[in-house]
Amino acid sequence: MDKGVIVELQELTKVYRQGQVDVHALRGISLGIKKGGFVAICGPSGSGKTTILNLIGALDKPTSGTVTLEGNNLGELTRKELSEIRRDRIGFVFQSYNLMPVLTAYENTEIVMWVQGVEFGERRHRALSLLKEVGLDGLEDRLPSELSGGQQQRVAIARAIATSPAVVLADEPTANVDSETADRLLSIMEKLNRERGVTFIFSTHDPKVMDRAHRLIRLVDGQVESDETRRENPRSSLKQ
């Protein structure tokens, strides 16, 4: 893996079986993404955007090719090792938020740290600090049903970075919020990228996300149509 590259895809293919038909979601994709990147993967429905995120996030396995995260070939790891990588090194932000409805904003933010065995005082400090950072100071004790869609997505962002992951995978994170809220969410994620060096990889249809991305990868029919770097994050070459 090249120096500074945190995620590497080599000749990645994914084929799904639908009835009697093979659907080729990805067709031999090779990409490298640097640490500290703010990368958007875009393209029409069915182009393979979410499939790539699922493979990077160890939520699915490729038909062929390799996914390497921080030098680890995910295809060579045991189920337990993959579970630990998902828990410790990957943050997830979904368009449907995926918060636990019976837990407060604070509890949703701290839950992965609790699973990791982080000491109470440390995880409480970290969770409250992150909720304040994403603009939810004073709303820590509210349930998801008592928060707006944008506020729920902010909780999801805080939860995603609570464990200081290697990379945050954001699947259509602005899909279910209005334009103004989308701008706020993107500003929060840009700030985390700029100040903390958090690596973000988005799948998106949203022009707002595409406009803000430092690198834009366009997929068509499971292949890379274009790969454009707009600007380099000065932290993208930092060592881990």
Please write the tens of the pLDDT for every residue from 54-106: 999 999 999 999 999 999 999 999 999 999 999 999 999 988 899 999 999 99
Nearest 5 degrees, angle CA 213-CA 215-CA 217?
110
Rounded to whole angstroms, how far apart are CA atoms 236 and 33? 9
pLDDT of residue 239: 36
Is the separation of the CB atoms in 56 and 48 below 8 Å?
Answer: no
Reported as a single tens digit per residue, the pLDDT across 90-101 is 999 988 899 999
Write the secondary structure of 89-129 as one string of H (helix), E (strand) and C (coil): CEEEEECCCCCCCCCCHHHHHHHHHHHHCCCHHHHHHHHHH
pTM of the model: 0.90
pLDDT of residue 225: 96
pLDDT below 70 — which residues of the chain? 1-3, 232-240
Cα distance between the two ends of the chain: 14
- For residue 148, is it within any domain? yes
Rounded to whole angstroms, how far apart are CA atoms 178 and 73? 38
- For residue 25, is it within any domain? no
Rounded to whole angstroms, how far apart are CA atoms 54 and 92? 10
pLDDT of residue 176: 85
In which domain, by residue range, is 130 found? 99-165
* Cross-sheet strand order for the sheet of 72-73: 21-34, 5-18, 64-69, 72-73
pLDDT of residue 240: 32
- For residue 7, is it within any domain? no
- For residue 230, is it within any domain? no
- For residue 238, is it within any domain? no
pLDDT of residue 1: 56
- Give the number of domains in the chain: 1
- For residue 106, is it within any domain? yes
pLDDT of residue 17: 87
- For residue 120, is it within any domain? yes
- For residue 153, is it within any domain? yes
Rounded to whole angstroms, how far apart are CA atoms 204 and 70? 24
- Residues pairing with 93 in the sheet: 170
